[in-house]
Structure 1
Amino acid sequence: MALTPAAGGGCGESSMPPPSIRSLQPVNSDVEWDSFDPQAYVRHNYAVLRADDREILCRTRDFLARAKLSDADCVDVGSGANLYPALSLLPFARRVDLCDWSTSNVSWLRTQIHGYDELWDPYWQVCAENPAYSALTDPRGRLARVGRVRKTSVFDVPRHAWDAGTMFFVACSISADRAEAERAIGRFLDALRPGSPFAVAVMLGSRGYHVGQRLYPAVALRRAEVVARIAAGAYDLDVHEVRLTPPLRDGYRSMLLATGRTRG
């Protein structure tokens, strides 16, 4: 996208206003999400269980175990090529909807729910450190029975459709538009029924990320604005920031996990 030169003030130049300038910051609809490479994303992000993901998973696991859920309609919004949010919901779910807009991610998810790769076993082992999870002895079979992949955007999920939900690293990484990031958080919370437990994770200060050879947009979110946006639709909010050296990649400051329950 090229910038239109601004009109000057010299003699002989048109007095007409310059054409509107389209922002160089891509919005969600500008991105070719169907070209997203889930295999490359998994190799870079999840092939080895990192300490920061372990901490986020532990905190999510313990929060959901305390929520006393059972036979719940659960959702993971913007699953992408990440199974551990869905795994954290498994013991409490009669169904888990894994939602994503990218055709390539949807295909990958459909393959995984019928028998996920061994690299996700360490993530389940972290879950199984909690008794609420260790009682589930066949997580692969459970996901195959209750998992369902839905091709839908975070902006199109229905209102008040689920009893519990997760949304990990979505609002910060689907657009370079701050307003879209805030809207994504609001739509996720609104998709849950009043009083539903949830977990949201975002990258703070992200400046974009590579998947294979492609660069994808991000929003450099700040802790205070994320917490304020979530708090507008939630109560019993608990927020924890995770920093790790070395970081997963260049171009972000930390990860933030927020858990709580949705307002009525």
Structure 2
Amino acid sequence: MHLGSPGNLSQLNAEAPWGDFDPKAYVKLNYEEMQSEDRKIIAIVRTHFGDHFRANPDRPVRGIDVGAGANLYPAFSMLPWCDEITLLDRAGQNIDYLKRQRGRDGYDPVWDAFWDLFCEDEAYAALPGDPRTRFTERTRVEEGDLFALSRQRGHWSLGTMFFVAESLSTSHDEFWQAVECFLLALTPGAPFAAAFMEHSEGYFVKDTQFPACDVGELEIRSAVEAYTEPETLIMSTVGKPNAVRDGYTSMIVACGFRARGN
């Protein structure tokens, strides 16, 4: 579904209307029907984590999805490997949504197709029991600010951050800070996956406009590479301009391992 590009009014993260973010509308707009971009992103991340943990069956693994919001599939990507996954978000309605997804009845049926796609890898397909039960047992929802992760350096050993760093404000400084806080919250050598909207002009959820930072591939690479183990970063461009909505050029997925030297 395409919405008119909102233009990108200058706005810091603290000024954005996060209290008005509607997760049900966001899911309906973006995930009710799986898009080819999500299929490609899942395949990239599934391979990155699967290959690593087959070669390095570390236990226990503590994961985090930063800015989890109304998207469960980053957490799905970590489910076979983690004893605990923190779903971190600052928006109250997102927190409520995430808590409902781990409730007695499990996550909504819209997410079944996403889990099924992960199950094309045996590591996911071979998980015992019901994935809804495992999701409920392994995840915990935490209300918090991404920037506060600077106080929890090296706490998690696996991490994801999807469409967050560039979608929280128009500030390049806050974009860099968000990437830094995410990566430094991981233990040295920890695998990670992050996704970005390239040259985003901002976005709507229902009638509410949210900001975005206009960053290109070189800026994304520079920010991520600063805290990534040398020569491990793989950047993948996914999708065509404006394929999902108006006002961006592509999606970029960055997979790698947290640097050991900083």
| The two structures share one fold, judged by TM-score above 0.5 | yes
Alpha-carbon distance in 1 for matches of 2:66, 2:240 = 25
State the Cα distance separating 1:91 from its structure 2 match: 0.4
Counterpart contact for 1:204–1:255, Cα < 8 Å = yes
After superposition, residues 89-104 of structure 1 pair within 5 angstroms as 89-104=78-93
Q: Provide structure 2 residue ranges, at least 5 long, that are not aligned to the other structure.
A: 1-8
Counterpart contact for 2:17–2:210, Cα < 8 Å = no
Q: Provide structure 1 residue ranges, at least 5 long, that are not aligned to the other structure.
A: 1-23
- Match for residue 178 of structure 1 among 161, 172, 179: 172
Alpha-carbon distance in 2 for matches of 1:215, 1:263 = 36
Question: Which residue of structure 2 aligns with residue 225 of structure 1?
Answer: 219
Question: Which residue of structure 2 aligns with residue 204 of structure 1?
Answer: 198
Are positions 1:149 and 2:117 aligned together?
no
3-state DSSP class of the match of 2:80? helix
Larger Rg: 1
Could you list the per-position Cα deviations for residues 20-76 of structure 1 after superposition, in whole angstroms to 9, with x for gaps in the alignment? xxxx51000001211110000000011111000110011101110111154310000
Could you list the per-position Cα deviations for residues 226-248 of structure 1 after superposition, in whole angstroms to 9, with x for gaps in the alignment? 00111110021111001237610
RMSD of Structure 2 on Structure 1 (CA): 1.3
Are positions 1:214 and 2:208 aligned together?
yes
Question: Which residue of structure 2 aligns with residue 6 of structure 1?
Answer: none
3-state DSSP class of the match of 2:170? coil
- Match for residue 154 of structure 2 among 160, 164, 178: 160
Alpha-carbon distance in 2 for matches of 1:262, 1:212 = 36
- Match for residue 11 of structure 2 among 18, 26, 39: 26
Q: TM-score, normalised by structure 1?
A: 0.89
Question: Which residue of structure 2 aligns with residue 169 of structure 1?
Answer: 163
Question: Which residue of structure 1 aligns with residue 43 of structure 2?
Answer: 58
Could you list the per-position Cα deviations for residues 239-258 of structure 1 after superposition, in whole angstroms to 9, with x for gaps in the alignment? 10012376100000000000
Letter in 1 for 2:159: G
Letter in 1 for 2:202: G
Question: Which residue of structure 1 aligns with residue 184 of structure 2?
Answer: 190
Alpha-carbon distance in 2 for matches of 1:182, 1:141 = 36
Counterpart contact for 1:164–1:196, Cα < 8 Å = yes
Which of the pair has the greater relative contact order for Cα pairs under 8 Å at 6+ separation? 2
- Match for residue 71 of structure 1 among 60, 72, 75: 60
3-state DSSP class of the match of 1:60? helix
Are positions 1:113 and 2:102 aligned together?
yes
Matched residue count: 242
Counterpart contact for 2:240–2:249, Cα < 8 Å = no
Counterpart contact for 1:52–1:244, Cα < 8 Å = no
Q: TM-score, normalised by structure 2?
A: 0.90
